[in-house]
């Protein structure tokens, strides 16, 4: 008996039943792909808000700077050290910081000025791509600054409005100057949203009379994203050769790191529940597909077809249906996931402004397609189809011919 031809003929002959079964499995497969991609994207997006929008992979400071951010605690050889790190295959940028008071016509607030290297900052973070309004910093607009959206709301300012800064210079005198709002950032982190003002590091050096060389912080990003973070951090330590603090973003933000690890476990649990739901869909489809044909199988047994041959026939039909369903489900799932990867799922009404440990959760959820999110659901579908059809196939195969023929 040619089981492949007979199975294909049966699938085609019972086209309505086959279509329902294939549609149910294809839908289940597509939903698994979309859900897996979306969960991966949400976790990746949360990490991106930490690393690519703020901390970078690794940071270097003076030993006590994070506990006591004094403007005098600078890495004096930051320029040379940055170049050494770049030559070793990493991206690096210098940052400067100071604190003071920023005032508008109607309000004032304590702020942290962040001086960034306009040439290299975009190689270590993507903050310049996270603008809500306006433009990023430009060397041709030295007094143009970029602020967080909560700070803009607090100071009641919009693009083009004037801000006055009052602080202290490195030599103890008063520092004050006027600036213009050039850009307003989307939500990234609580400290950035409500208290950060970005300007070029050249402008900040001039404003508070800092020396031409040196930085408070070096931010480093791996060029090879597959490189292990701990390994990269250790390599940077060997390059520093000074009594400086070298820390990965996971060491800098342990609460966020643990949250993301927990989120991955929670995602696996949610995926497990999704797969269980999918398994019930596949099981029902298989039960319906086989039990509706008990009369047909009874006639086949009466004609001398053995139980083992019936089981093989049912599995051959199931294989054909699963292959077709997986192809359709893969196309549909990848298409939907690609759309969500490009345009996202807007959850602003539920998630806008939500933060965890000071890090903003992106209200637009983006999927992230990967080999795992695409192929694991396909493999699961084949396994579940094979398991789901085992019971009905065995039950039919073991029924007496007369019992099967008269089955209602």
SS3 of residue 44 by DSSP = helix
CA distance 305 to 359: 66
CA distance 272 to 278: 10
pLDDT number for residue 318: 81
Sign of the Cα torsion 242, 224, 252, 137 reads positive
Beta partners for 91? 221
CA distance 408 to 400: 14
CA distance 181 to 123: 24
Residue-wise pLDDT tens digits, 253-292: 877 777 777 766 766 777 677 777 777 777 776 677 666 6
Q: For the ranges 174-183, 200-209, 299-308, 393-402, which has the lowest average pLDDT?
A: 393-402
Instruction: Let me know: does 355 contact 277? Beta carbons within 8 Å.
Output: no
* Among 244, 218, 204, 215, CA closest to 112: 204
Dihedral through CA 65, CA 71, CA 74, CA 76, nearest 10?
-170
The number of residues making up the chain comes to: 408
pLDDT number for residue 3: 57
pLDDT number for residue 58: 94
Q: What is the DSSP letter of 127?
A: G
Angle between helices 254-291 and 371-388 (to 10 degrees): 30
Structure pTM? Answer: 0.70
CA distance 249 to 256: 9
CA distance 52 to 360: 13
Secondary element (H or E) of residue 98: strand 90-103
Residue-wise pLDDT tens digits, 23-37: 888 888 888 888 888
Instruction: Let me know: does 219 contact 59? Beta carbons within 8 Å.
Output: yes
């Amino acid at each position: 008996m040619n089981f492949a031809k007979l199975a294909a003929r049966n699938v085609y002959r019972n086209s309505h039943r086959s279509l329902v079964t294939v549609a149910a499995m294809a839908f289940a497969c597509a939903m698994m792909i979309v859900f897996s991609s979306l969960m991966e994207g949400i976790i990746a997006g949360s990490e991106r808000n930490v690393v690519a929008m703020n901390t970078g992979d690794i940071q270097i400071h003076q030993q006590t700077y994070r506990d006591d951010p004094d403007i005098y605690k600078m890495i004096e050889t930051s320029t040379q050290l940055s170049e050494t790190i770049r030559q070793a295959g990493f991206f690096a940028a210098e940052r400067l910081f100071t604190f003071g008071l920023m005032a508008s016509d109607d309000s004032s607030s304590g702020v942290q000025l962040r001086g960034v290297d306009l040439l290299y900052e975009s190689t270590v973070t993507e903050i310049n791509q996270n603008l809500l309004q306006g433009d990023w910093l430009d060397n041709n607009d030295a007094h143009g600054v970029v602020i967080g959206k909560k700070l803009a709301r607090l100071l009641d300012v919009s693009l083009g409005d004037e801000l006055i800064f009052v602080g202290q210079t490195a030599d103890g005198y008063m520092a004050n100057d006027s600036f213009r709002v050039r850009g307003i950032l989307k939500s990234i982190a609580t400290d950035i949203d409500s208290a950060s003002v970005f300007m070029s590091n050249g402008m900040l050096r001039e404003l508070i009379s800092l020396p031409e060389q040196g930085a408070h912080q070096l931010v480093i990003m791996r060029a090879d994203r597959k490189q292990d973070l701990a390994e990269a951090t250790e390599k940077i330590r060997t390059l520093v050769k000074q009594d400086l603090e070298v820390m990965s973003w996971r060491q800098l933000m342990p609460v966020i790191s643990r949250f993301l690890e927990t989120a991955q476990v929670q995602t696996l649990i949610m995926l497990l529940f999704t797969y269980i739901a999918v398994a019930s869909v596949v099981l029902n489809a298989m039960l319906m597909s086989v039990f509706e044909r008990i009369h047909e199988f009874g006639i086949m047994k009466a004609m001398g077809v053995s139980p083992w041959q019936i089981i093989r026939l049912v599995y051959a039909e199931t294989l054909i249906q699963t292959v077709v369903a997986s192809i359709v489900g893969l196309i549909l799932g990848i298409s939907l996931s690609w759309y969500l990867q490009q345009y996202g799922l807007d959850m602003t009404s539920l998630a806008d402004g939500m933060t965890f440990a000071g890090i903003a959760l992106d209200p637009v959820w983006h999927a992230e397609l990967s080999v795992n999110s695409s192929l694991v659901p396909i493999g699961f579908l084949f396994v579940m189809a094979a398991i789901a059809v085992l019971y009905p196939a065995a039950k039919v195969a073991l029924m007496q011919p007369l019992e099967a023929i008269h089955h209602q």
